[in-house]
């Protein structure tokens, strides 16, 4: 079966139960991040930007902001979600599908009456295509390392095309248009110089949204990498057999994934040995080379805090937690965290480099002022499919993020709809995501 026929014909009831379960988890995680992102300083300017540049339409900025066009909602919601770095990801692509796919999916859902099951099936199609696009794109253009929007755009277009009922024989050209207009997204420049452009999710969603809008006007794209490039054709040959969505990871902290293993390393050592931040002389982190791009310190804004290894480690040591509060501007001048962060150093470890990106590992050593040295084991971050976060942990994450900005009652109602979406019309969810919506 061709990838176009697979995308167009995918049905919820035909998906394996683990894939169905994971689809609900992925959607809930992205919606949680969308709610939490309302607390970011950039959220308001993004909403005003969308209103000024895209005008009115049927698709909402999620929870707050204007009703706008398909492309405008796709761009604005993806940019805002990507602004809070706690959404799901895929280790082998060193990036994220959901922050691009879900905003396009939800915007497209406003254009047709669909069931929740149809929306979830489209999400699965989007993730499977996005993740394969990333593997193909990175293999084709190596050693260039493109941010997620460059490849997730194809998955976002696939999700929207499935939901909008675009015929299979017209579908690859839509993917091709999304790919052609996708961002270059030099992500390692952004980790050194943090910015709200983050991992390119906004640009990728915009290119996907515009590809769908072009199709609606009879404007055709061109063949996608899945038909034109050998490595693309190879990737889609396993559709429906190897479910890449099952290999997603889920973040427990709102910072770059590369900081998570060091953060958990120092948290474990502190729990084992009972020291405080005041007892620490310095912390040495060993990991793969790309982690060195996260050393811009002290951070100047929330984006900088989320892309900063010393800040993440220091915040965990000083506060005993690493959540949204620790990456908002109100904490960036905290003298205790800044002082602790200046004592965090990084060293590249060749053995861990050889295992990246298949594994995302680190080890830490904590040097105490009393002369003791505490060495942690080599470990990865929790939440990966090899060390998964439980449904309970993800539910708790959802509640923290959603209740913070929406309120406890609306957060509970939203969670219930997400958990039962496959038995509901998609409108039940869209009504709660629309500004002013009610359960």
Q: Is the pLDDT of residue 324 over 50?
A: yes
What is the CATH number that goes with domain 3-252+390-433? 1.10.4100.10
Report yes or no: 15 and 59 within 8 Å, Cβ to Cβ.
no
CA distance 170 to 174: 7
pLDDT tens-place string over residues 197-212 = 999 999 999 999 999 9
Q: Where in the chain is the domain with CATH 3.30.1330.120?
A: 257-380
Point out which residues pair with 361 in neighbouring strands: 380
- Say whether pLDDT at 435 is over 70: yes
The listed CATH number (3.40.50.10330, 3.40.50.720, 3.40.50.10490, 3.30.1330.120) that belongs to domain 257-380 = 3.30.1330.120
What is the model's pLDDT at position 439? 47
Q: pTM (2 decimals)?
A: 0.96
Q: Which part of the chain has CATH 1.10.4100.10?
A: 3-252+390-433
Segment 8-22 shows an average pLDDT of 98
The CA-atom distances, in angstroms, between 161 and each of 32, 271, 358 are 24, 49, 31
Question: What are the b/e assignments for 3-28, b being 16+ CB within 10 Å?
Answer: bbebbbebebeebeeebbebbbbbbb
* Cβ proximity of 119 and 105 under 8 Å: yes
Query: For residue 438, what pLDDT band results from cuts at 50, 70 and 90?
Result: low
Q: What is the pLDDT of residues 114-160, one digit of tens each?
A: 999 999 999 999 999 999 999 999 999 999 999 999 999 999 999 99
pLDDT band at 284 (very low <50, low <70, confident <90, very high): very high
């Amino acid at each position: 079966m061709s990838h176009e026929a697979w995308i167009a014909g995918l049905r919820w009831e035909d998906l394996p139960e683990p894939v169905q379960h994971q689809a609900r988890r992925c959607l809930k995680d992205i919606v949680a991040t969308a709610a939490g992102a309302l607390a970011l300083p950039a959220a308001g300017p993004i909403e005003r930007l969308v209103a000024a540049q895209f005008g009115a339409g049927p698709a909402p900025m999620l929870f707050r902001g204007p009703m706008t066009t398909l492309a405008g909602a796709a761009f604005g919601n993806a940019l805002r979600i990507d602004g809070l770095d706690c959404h799901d990801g895929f280790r082998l692509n060193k990036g994220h599908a959901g922050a691009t796919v879900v905003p396009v999916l939800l915007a497209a859902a406003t254009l047709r009456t669909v069931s929740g099951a149809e929306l979830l099936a489209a999400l699965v199609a989007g993730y499977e295509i996005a993740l394969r696009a990333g593997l193909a794109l990175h293999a084709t253009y190596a050693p260039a390392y493109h941010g997620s929007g460059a490849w997730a755009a194809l998955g976002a277009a696939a999700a929207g095309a499935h939901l909008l009922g675009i015929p299979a024989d017209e579908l690859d050209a839509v993917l091709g248009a999304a790919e052609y207009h996708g961002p270059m997204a030099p992500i390692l420049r952004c980790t050194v110089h943090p910015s709200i452009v983050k991992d390119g999710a906004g640009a990728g969603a915009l290119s996907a949204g515009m590809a769908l809008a072009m199709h609606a006007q009879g404007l055709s794209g061109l063949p996608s990498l899945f038909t034109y490039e050998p490595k693309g054709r190879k990737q889609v040959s396993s559709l429906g057999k190897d479910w890449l969505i099952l290999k997603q990871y889920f973040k427990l902290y709102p910072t770059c994934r590369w900081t998570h293993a060091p953060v958990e390393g120092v948290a474990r050592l502190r729990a084992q040995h009972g020291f405080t931040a005041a007892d620490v002389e310095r912390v040495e982190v060993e990991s793969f080379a790309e982690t060195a791009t996260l050393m811009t310190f002290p951070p100047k804004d929330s984006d900088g805090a989320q892309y900063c290894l010393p800040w993440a480690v220091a915040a965990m040591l000083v506060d005993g937690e690493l959540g949204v509060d620790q990456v908002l501007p109100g904490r960036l001048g905290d003298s205790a965290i800044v002082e602790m962060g200046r004592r965090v150093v990084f060293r590249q470890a060749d053995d861990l480099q050889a295992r990246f990106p298949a594994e995302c590992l680190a080890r830490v050593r904590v040097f105490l002022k009393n002369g003791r040295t505490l060495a942690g084991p080599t470990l990865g971050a929790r939440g990966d499919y090899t060390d998964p976060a439980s449904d309970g942990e993800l539910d708790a994450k959802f509640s923290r993020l959603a209740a913070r900005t929406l309120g406890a009652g609306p957060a509970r109602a939203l969670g219930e709809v997400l958990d039962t979406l496959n038995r509901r019309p998609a409108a039940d969810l869209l009504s709660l995501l629309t500004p002013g919506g009610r359960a």
